[in-house]
Chains A and B, each alone.
Chain A
């Protein structure tokens, strides 16, 4: 994961030399501010309220972050290409309700099959977004704002007042978000695997690097021969599939899935990516950073509760922390950019 160092440059430039060692590259890590903030937050909360890090406390923290982590990873793919998907909350809702419906209609269906169906359903919804954005050449912000309401409307029409509860689903399915392996809930492990896979893909493969190139300079990417529309379409599709996965996991973890499931989630997801160092104008940031951003945001909420901060102050505090994280990140990335300019000038 530390291989994802510098995405300001298009994929074609050479990897930064390792001469000055690991320490320097560690300092240049875009994720560093988030990691520090997270460590500080956890430490302070733990010192005030030791219950914060009991096995149950850690499990809750990880569970809270899991679904946002997956969504933030998907969102990162899009933000890097200068796109965005605001419909993720609605997609998650549709898939989560779909999962509930499947289990109630076919209780004996293997759980694995439900995951496949859910991700395929999500991919289909993502493909709708991708098609509209690439075919109509309208900014993704507008298109996905539209599909946010369209998908939510479909969910309302489909679900009505119907809700499916945890009791309607097989125990083994619910156990995915209860049982732990080495202290990690199973669905969190799934999320970590997914984030790692996407991170490797983004850092180390040609199509992954193409996404950065598209976000850095779309015209240059086209001139360079990158199939921009195809890549962007696939990024939307992948984001949809990840939202689908998140939807299935949502149904495993929470009690009820219905018409309003996932409402308003898109803002948390975008905030997580931004806090995690993904530049909103595209071209830089990592999936790992976004996942850490998700962990930071959900941890903030939990620690404010553990610190018994009055409920009505929490949102304001979360907002201030988001701004702080962004400012820290901005300062850090400006410094990095400057250093890079100097060192590259020398290297020439």
Chain B
């Protein structure tokens, strides 16, 4: 900004810009020290393999736990280097440039949580033709453009546990609503689809009516206002399911500070550390989640098995996921990590993530 002094001529300004850009690039490279050699696209030799995690969004507490497990898994699986790159904002197209950069850097394994299953597809295709293996985790990419998908749990199981919890909490009848993340989030929409099917088909839930689906975009402020709006638009609302950690926390905060506390039930998928105060003050009775760290951990081992050629990602393939033991690839390249855990006032203090 200070370059714009009147005395500085056009060339001087240009030189200044170049100098600053160069200095910045150098400084950034220095910060990035130890992230492995930047080899070409030739396949790296055994023991010199690189793995890169591309989460939906950086600086998200849930993602941090997943990535923590991923780093651990990458080290144990024997990757020479592992790194995390990604956008600061969870939008459909924001991951593409990061995938392209990894392709150019010749990364062996790209582990990605897709913000949009199709938006990342072309870029992932290019990465694959350059020799990279693609492991989707958390939120799937289009099956045509990845090798395997590491799923938290069976999508249906996640959906069913949430409908079961809400049904218990509202006494089996009444209006409910869903507060999701973005309207095009793969995992959210899959769970919501299963929830809707279950509500429609299970006779136990025949008195439960899903009256609204709203989207808080995994943004605290927006989710907060959406929760507020739900209460006004649907005065008879008995419960809310929020299958996203940001949404459930924001909704809990709203409920706990409003007259609806204790009157409107809330459940969904949340982080114990984030939900603790709301479980203790009675706003939330029970919610669910899997251990996010295992997700990253298994993804790293799957990536290793793919690059080593010990599996291809076909149905029936198996690989060993470190201390978690053997995992099997199911139909559609699906790998299941583990069953969800239900958290409540009794057990929440035992968890720290």
Residues of A within 8 A of B (CB): 49, 51-52, 55-57, 59-60, 64, 132, 136-138, 142-143, 146, 156, 159-163, 165-167, 174, 177-178, 254-256, 258-261, 263, 301-302, 305-308, 311-312
Contact = CB atoms under 8 A, between A and B. Distances in A.
9 contacts: A60-B232, A159-B59, A166-B253, A254-B221, A255-B253, A260-B219, A301-B229, A306-B229, A311-B214
Interface in B242-288: 246, 249-250, 252-253, 257-260, 273-274, 276-277
Contacts of A56: 231, 258-260
Given A167-B276, A177-B257, A306 B233 contact: yes
B58 to A, nearest CB: 7
B274 A305 contact: no
B232 A51 contact: yes
Given A136-B2, A255-B253, A260-B219, 6 more contacts: A56-B259, A138-B1, A161-B64, A255-B250, A302-B232, A306-B232
Nearest to A64: B225
B1 A143 contact: yes
A57 to B, nearest CB: 6
B220 interface: yes
10 closest residue pairs by CB, A with B: A305-B229, A167-B277, A255-B253, A161-B64, A259-B59, A306-B232, A178-B257, A56-B259, A308-B233, A161-B59
Interface in B33-73: 58-61, 63-64
A120 to B, nearest CB: 24
B257 A174 contact: yes
Contact of B232 (A52, A136, A167, A178): A52
Contacts of A307: 233
B274 A161 contact: no
Nearest to A314: B229
B88 A259 contact: yes
A301 B94 CA distance: 27
Contacts of A259: 58-59, 88
A305 B252 contact: no
A176 to B, nearest CB: 11
Contacts of A163: 61, 274
Given A132-B1, A136-B4, A256-B249, A60 B59 contact: no
B235 interface: yes
A254 B232 contact: no
Contacts of B258: 56, 59-60
Contacts of B301: none
Given A146-B1, A166-B253, A259-B88, A51 B235 contact: yes
B279 to A, nearest CB: 10
Contacts of B64: 160-161
Contacts of B229: 301-302, 305-306
B59 A49 contact: no
Interface string B170-185: 0000000000000100
Nearest to A257: B220
Nearest to A256: B220
B157 interface: no
Contact of A255 (B2, B225, B233, B252): B252
A311 B257 contact: no
Nearest to B63: A161
B233 A138 contact: no
Contacts of A167: 276-277
B32 to A, nearest CB: 14
A159 B88 CA distance: 12
A160 B59 contact: yes
B253 A311 contact: no
B228 interface: yes
A60 B224 CA distance: 10
Nearest to A179: B257
Contacts of B253: 166, 254-255
A263 B258 CA distance: 25
Nearest to B277: A167
Contacts of B249: 165, 255-256
B291 interface: no
Contacts of A311: 183, 214-215
A49 B233 contact: yes
A312 B214 CA distance: 10
B89 interface: yes
B224 A254 contact: yes
B170 to A, nearest CB: 20
B226 interface: yes
